[in-house]
Amino acid sequence: MNVLSADSASGIRLGLFLLVFLILAMSEVRWPRRQLTAGRSKRWAANIGLSFFNSIAIRALIPFSGVVSSLWAQEQGFGLFNQLDWAVWFEFLLFILLFDLIIYWQHRVFHMLPVLWRFHRVHHTDEDYDLTTGTRFHPISILISTIIKIGLVILLGASPFAILSAEIILNLTSMFNHSNIRLPQQVDRVLRKIVVTPDMHRIHHSQDKIEHNCNFGFNFSFWDRCFGSYLQDASQAQEHMAIGIVDYEGPATRSFLSLLLQPFRSERSA
């Protein structure tokens, strides 16, 4: 997989992103979990616009990707995996697990530290909850996350295929677990034993402060169980649960520019 280039990796990610986005968007229309309160047009323009801006900004600020970092680590013989003679499949699975564990704790830290919460709050001030919420992150949050991911790749010496797979899984599951899709209860119950489902993660977007400090996982649900942050059900039914952050409502939460500036304005609620 060393023939994998940064450009081909980006193409694979974009192609899968668009395919899954289309499937989830159609599924939300066909099997909606909740009634949207603000409609799609302005929210989607802001959320997707922010994601598009992030992609350009990160490429400009960090000219090397996770795949490029992985290739460099392999060429230099740097990182844990390059010092050990472990099976490729074992290193791959271990990296996927460690990558998701780091994302879990990164997420918790973003909630713990006020300076980081200001940027992560942009994600939580979405008043509705659908697949575009999974793309709505402030550029500073994405920058910090990218630096952490690259650091992990170099430290472990993960393969290009492993990092590409981890990033694709993260992007696609972020859209899935933020989607407004109604899953049968039995299906949700089974899936939730391993992966984060929309009903599980939606609780994390509740306006209730206790609830939005639970269910931090993105890919695997067992991290929340392991570290005591799992919540099975919200205090309100999923259809009626208040989404977002108190006092962050209305047009200011649906504008691309207001989302960019939100962390630098006076904080009304955390």
pTM over 0.85: yes
DSSP label of 252: G
Q: Does 26 have pLDDT greater than 90? A: yes
Query: In terms of Cα–Cα distance, which of 214, 263, 215, 206 is closest to 237?
Result: 206
- pLDDT tens digits for range 51-76: 999 989 888 877 667 778 888 888 88
DSSP label of 180: -
According to the model, what pLDDT value does residue 7 have? 62
The answer to whether residues 98 and 147 touch, using CB atoms and an 8 Å cutoff, is no
According to the model, what pLDDT value does residue 152 have? 92
Q: Does 85 have pLDDT greater than 70? A: yes
Domain assignment of residue 270, yes or no: no
Domain assignment of residue 50, yes or no: yes
Domain assignment of residue 269, yes or no: no
Q: Does 1 have pLDDT greater than 50? A: no
Query: In terms of Cα–Cα distance, which of 32, 26, 23 is closest to 238?
Result: 32
Total count of domains within the chain: 1
Query: In terms of Cα–Cα distance, which of 164, 146, 148 is closest to 96?
Result: 164
Segment 203-223 mean pLDDT: 95
> In the structure encoding, which two tokens stand for residue 30, read together?
């066909």
Highest mean pLDDT among 71-80, 103-112, 161-170: 103-112
- Percent of the chain exceeding pLDDT 90 equals 69
Domain assignment of residue 90, yes or no: yes
Segment 101-122 mean pLDDT: 96
According to the model, what pLDDT value does residue 12 have? 83
Domain assignment of residue 1, yes or no: no
Q: Does 104 have pLDDT greater than 90? A: yes
Q: Does 270 have pLDDT greater than 60? A: no
**Structural domain harbouring 205:** 6-264
- pLDDT tens digits for range 181-212: 999 999 999 999 999 999 999 999 999 999 99
Domain assignment of residue 199, yes or no: yes
- Percent of the chain exceeding pLDDT 70 equals 94
Domain assignment of residue 219, yes or no: yes
Chain-centre distance for alpha carbon 128: 16
Segment 36-65 mean pLDDT: 86
Query: In terms of Cα–Cα distance, which of 207, 270, 197 is closest to 234?
Result: 207
DSSP letter string, 75-101: HHT-SGGGTS---HHHHHHHHHHHHHH
Domain assignment of residue 184, yes or no: yes
Alpha-carbon radius of gyration of the chain: 18
Q: Does 39 have pLDDT greater than 80? A: no
Compute how many other C-beta atoms are within 10 angstroms of the C-beta atom of residue 45. Answer: 14
According to the model, what pLDDT value does residue 219 have? 93
- pLDDT tens digits for range 126-146: 999 999 999 999 999 999 999
According to the model, what pLDDT value does residue 4 have? 57
